[in-house]
Amino acid sequence: AIEIKKLIGKVEQKGYTLVPLNLHFSKGNVKCEIGLARGKKQHDKRAATKEREWEVQKGRIARGDLNA
């Protein structure tokens, strides 16, 4: 009960969310393991997008498809 209140308090703060990690059945009940996660900052999102686009570009260069 105390742990749930702590999680609810964190989720009410900006930038936190609960993420289901594991979902399974046990004796007719559904059990869900949850984790507390913080979202990415805007500059982290930009860096991840830039890295992903570079990986795609490298693949195109390796295939010789430079016009795409």
- pLDDT tens digits for range 1-10: 788 888 888 8
- Matching residue, tokens 């209140």: 5
- pLDDT tens digits for range 40-57: 777 878 888 999 999 999
Q: In angstroms, rounded to a whole number, what is the distance separating the alpha carbons of residues 61 and 53?
A: 12
- Supply the pLDDT for residue 50: 92
Answer whether residue 68 is part of any domain: no
The DSSP 8-state label assigned to residue 28 in this structure reads T
- Supply the pLDDT for residue 68: 57
Q: In angstroms, rounded to a whole number, what is the distance separating the alpha carbons of residues 8 and 17?
A: 9
Please determine, for residue 14, whether its predicted confidence score (pLDDT) is greater than 90. no
Answer whether residue 58 is part of any domain: yes
Please determine, for residue 66, whether its predicted confidence score (pLDDT) is greater than 70. no
Answer whether residue 54 is part of any domain: yes
- Matching residue, tokens 């009940």: 29
Nearest to 16 by CA among 40, 35, 36, 45: 36
Q: In angstroms, rounded to a whole number, what is the distance separating the alpha carbons of residues 13 and 30?
A: 28
Q: Which domain holds residue 34?
A: 2-63
Total structural domains in the chain? 1
